[in-house]
Structure 1
């Protein structure tokens, strides 16, 4: 596409005429793709699916491409023949840009990146508000596909029995799994009075 568009721009006499029906097709495609984008993005956010988010933005890129194509056709019909290959060149560059962004996002997921600060704070708040939890530290997260793996140290009263501490850790884990897109939670218990001694749960 980029090569062909560049060739037409270099030799304007090779640019073919465009029929007005092409404009209507581009406008219909624009409306359909924009509607699909909004629907898929809402579903992706509800399900917290990075795959659906990528598909939604693919639909948005199609909508943007249709808009650029429509502008190119309008210019061509108005007598500016070079608008058409210029629009094709813009669409080609848009596709390259979107492909690069998707590739970088996928690479980050493969490299087990941490979740964003907002989600990490939400997970921390869920853990911190669990009855019996006095505090937390060393909260670590990493992506596992569309889900998250969590590792955290919870602080509990030092005089608490092992059984009581285990119950608090289990409750905290269950709350995180129920309220967030988390695959697993590894909890370590630290007594508030002596954090140098850590019991792993």
Structure 2
């Protein structure tokens, strides 16, 4: 059974969600294609050229495929409409996907650290790499940087934190490919230990990115509020609504890339219940139209004009 508590707002929200979903699908499939080619090239050439750093970078690219499919999975499910079990919709699938990306990055980083440290314990067994590894590392660097810029532009256009996370994942890949290229250059110039050191640095970069993604997503899943600037902007929109005399107890919580808001608004206490309700409805619609708010729950408090209170007090004294 589908549940739509506010059908008058659903059309605009659905349009935004559809646009975000199309952007996510396009950018993610481009990422899939690039990572399939790069991972195959890096692992094959890395094995033939005996470069541990290039192989590690190839495994990193392979892990990107897993993260890309997680994004596609979350993108599909976050588009589902609200139902009885999820009256606010399924937007937090995006947050869960960001957390999944962080966990994957951490797991990949731990594996790469273990392998690199093993090689550094026996530096005399580190082989000399071949020049082909450097060419592949440079190709990977350029491809990943271009992929990052493309994905970040798409993410900013539709304001999707999940796509931003995946874009910066691609940037971490570009940074790791740069380190790999430098390590291979050092190996070619007679410093073979630089190849596993490069793999170690790549692992640390990946681990740092994974921790940040996972930690941010965890806070969002724990109902972290929107940033203060956005909360104040919502408060101003409420205050500017005709008939609203005051606003207090504004609380927010993130729902994927959207926000759920609870607020107390003050209206003239001499108004009828129906008139107060109409003001609350108007305030809610203004917020939904101007901000990335999924839902706004208002509580109407009575407010008395100071001059009226003073007049009533004078009457009672006489």
Give the TM-score normalised by the residue count of structure 1. Answer: 0.87
SS in 1 for 2:238: helix
Partner of residue 198, structure 1: none
Partner of residue 47, structure 1: 158
4+ aligned runs moved over 4 Å, structure 1: none
Q: Is the 8 A contact 1:75 1:83 kept in 2?
A: yes
Partner of residue 199, structure 1: none
Structure with the higher fraction of residues in strand conformation: 1
Q: Is the 8 A contact 2:249 2:264 kept in 1?
A: yes
Alignment partner of 1:189 is 2:189: no
Return the alpha-carbon distance in structure 1 between the equivalents of residues 230 and 137 of structure 2: 39
More relative contact order, 1 or 2 (CA 8 Å, 6+ apart): 2
Alignment partner of 1:111 is 2:203: no
Return the alpha-carbon distance in structure 2 between the equivalents of residues 140 and 93 of structure 1: 37
5 Å-filtered alignment, 1:63-102, equals 63-102=174-213
Return the alpha-carbon distance in structure 2 between the equivalents of residues 32 and 180 of structure 1: 36
Q: Is the 8 A contact 1:137 1:154 kept in 2?
A: yes
**Per-residue CA shift, 1:110-154, capped at 9, x if unaligned?**
211111112212222222222222221100001122221100011
Give the TM-score normalised by the residue count of structure 2. Answer: 0.57
Return the alpha-carbon distance in structure 1 between the equivalents of residues 144 and 291 of structure 2: 30
Structure-2 change in CA distance of 1:179 and 1:28 (3 Å): farther
Structure-2 change in CA distance of 1:43 and 1:124 (3 Å): farther
Structure with the higher fraction of residues in helix conformation: 2
Structure 2: gaps (5+ residues)? 1-111, 306-318
